[in-house]
Every structure is written in structure tokens, then in C-alpha cells.
Structure 1
């Protein structure tokens, strides 16, 4: 044995399809929720590990750090540290899939309604949906683009970020980090919003 940790087997990943990934949210005594990040849905690696954005090659955690949201690069297993920073994570759709394009539009629309309910319950300053195509479908906004949206959910402002999946070749790590940094500046009050 080499001592190297192996990744999950295909059978283990397939068995994870029925697992729900809990939201990462501050408790009642925690700091206010500045930004609630919403992925499209859990990938199979995330469902298997119980950690958001856990697939190797996903650039969420590096972008979060490079943009200034976290003081150091966190591993997915350290997601529990986010609430102390005023950050949370959820998903539009709860069903785990190997690829986001396995979701039906009605799942995204239903997930959008659930996300609106969660935002009303947690009142983050910002909702950041990670994936413009999913946002367009879930919120009935076919012309939405990456960046700050005109739409709000009560007092919560909405921002759309690019999908950080390594499969999204439209964004390099640095351009992805720049998009996260623009949100960070607004969420920190550094820019007029």
C-alpha cells in the first residue's frame, strides 16, 4: 500500500445519488449572513463526501480565496468555517448528479422557489447563484448575465457568478476569481451597489 488515499469508486458515487447535501448556514448566534452562495446542484463527489464543491478540479474554493472572501484557501471539508465569515452555501436543486445538465428544467424552477423561501428565512445581504444558465431557468430570467442583477428577493440583492466547474472553459482561474472579487467588493461595501 502506498499510503495514498484513493477517490471514491464509481459504485460509491452512484450510491451517493440519493444523498442530500445539507446547507451550510450560520447559527442563530453567528454573524449576519453576508453572502449565500448557491451552487446548481450537488455533484456526485459532493454527495459522497458531504461537502459542497468537492470534486477535484472545481474552482469554487480557489476563487473564494483569491477574491478575498476567505483568509486562506479552504478545503471542501472546511466548509464549516464559512458561517463565521458571514458566508453560507446551498444549492438550487437538491438532487445529486454527475453533471448539472442532467437536471430537468422543472427541477431548477422548483429549486428556485425553494431558494426564495430559504432567502426569506435567512435574509442574506446577497444571494450569489453560481451558474448563469441555471439562474436563468430557475428564476425565469432568460436574458440574465453574470454580475449584479436588478431583481432582489425582499432586501436580499442577487448576483450571478460563473459556474466554477473545471468543465467551464469560458473562465480561467483568474477571470473566475475576478468575478468573485467584484461580488466581494460589493458585499464588503467597497463599491456603490
Structure 2
């Protein structure tokens, strides 16, 4: 279990592991990933076709049935991911790489550009599939589903997640 107290949802050979930037304070308090009502993760997973029904944060372990997993790039909870700095992602990268290498998912989907940009040492990162791999997994960068991410409405978020779903 990471330092945040939240359970990671991981198993060997998953199709996709979704990698959040870090846990929200509310998720750490509630003990469930993406538990804040304003977070659209569970809704987007369902709308994009990853799950046959809308799951609640309390049902988070059910995603394993669908070949999906969850982790965070940085385990330290914050009110907003904007509190994290470049060095937070870089220093967390070896542990993430070890974890992904151990569990061997086919795809790793970073939820937001910040973590992948820092880890890959790139100034610019585009949305979608990346040209390289991370610990043997194909890398995707998807918009962060946080309610604080006002640049993406529900329809646009779903469109990006559906792109990943369509290639699985």
C-alpha cells in the first residue's frame, strides 16, 4: 500500500493500468481512489466502454474483472496536483517503473501530462499513444478526469479515453 493509505489496484498482466498524478486529499481520507464527487474518472470509464456499468469509488477493485488497474505516479496526497513539482515525479519514477515492470500491463495510461513529461524528460507531450514504452508497457497520456480540470468537459474526456479503448 502506498504512503497515501490508498490501495493500488494491480494484478499481473492487466490490459491497462491508469496512473493518476497523485491521490487527492479527499481520496486519501475516504480510502478510495477517485472518490471526490467532482472527479469524473468512474463516469468516463463507463462512457468510454471500459466498464459495462457505472462503478462507484467503493467498488474500485471490480475494475480488475475488466483487465484494468490503478496506481499513482506520486503517492503523496495533495489538495491539487498543481502542488507537485517536477522533482516529485522524477524521484517517484523508479518505484513506478519497478511496479509496472513487476505487474507487466500491456498499457500504462498517465492521467494528465505532468507526470509523463517529467519522467520522460520531455518539455512537450501530446495526448494519446506515445512512441515509446515505460517498463515494457505501451504509454498513453489521457486528460486528467479531476473536476479541477476545466479544459475538458465530459464529452471531450470520454473521446480521449475511448481512443485508448478502441485499440484494445
TM-based fold match above 0.5: yes
Question: Which residue pairs with 2:10 in the alignment?
Answer: 25
The equivalent residue for 1:13 is: none
Higher RCO (C-alpha 8 Å, min separation 6)? 2
- How far has the Cα of 1:167 moved from its partner? 1.3
How far apart, in 2, do the equivalents of 1:111 and 1:183 lie? Answer: 25
* Residue aligning to 2:21: 40
Separation of aligned partners in 1, 2:8 and 2:91: 17
Q: How many residues align?
A: 166
Q: For residues 21 and 140 of structure 1, what CA distance do their matches in structure 2 show? A: 28
Q: 1:98 maps to what in 2?
A: 79
Could you tell which deviates more after superposition, 91-100 or 148-157? 148-157
Looking at structure 2, the residues matched to 51 and 39 of structure 1 have their Cα atoms a distance apart, in angstroms, of: 13
Q: Please give the root-mean-square deviation of Cα atoms over the aligned residues, in Å.
A: 1.4
1:163 and 2:144 aligned: yes
The residue aligned with 2:111 is: 130
Q: Mark the runs of 5 or more structure 2 residues left unpaired by the alignment.
A: none
Residues 59-98 of structure 1: CA deviation (Å, up to 9, x unaligned): 1111100000000010111101011111000000000110
Task: Spell out the pairing of 1:46-61 with structure 2 (5 A cutoff).
Answer: 46-61=27-42
* SS of the residue 2:158 aligns to: helix
Structure 1 unaligned segments of length 5 or more: list them.
1-17, 189-193
Deviation at 1:106, TM superposition (A): 1.4
Alignment check: 8 A CA contact 1:20 1:96 kept: no
The one of 49, 63, 68 aligned to 1:82: 63
Q: TM-score, normalised by structure 2?
A: 0.93
Equivalent residue in structure 1 for 2:121, among 124, 137, 140: 140
Deviation at 1:50, TM superposition (A): 1.2
**What does residue 182 of structure 1 align with?**
163
Which structure has the bigger radius of gyration? Answer: 1
* Aligned counterparts of 2:4 and 2:161: Cα–Cα separation in 1: 28
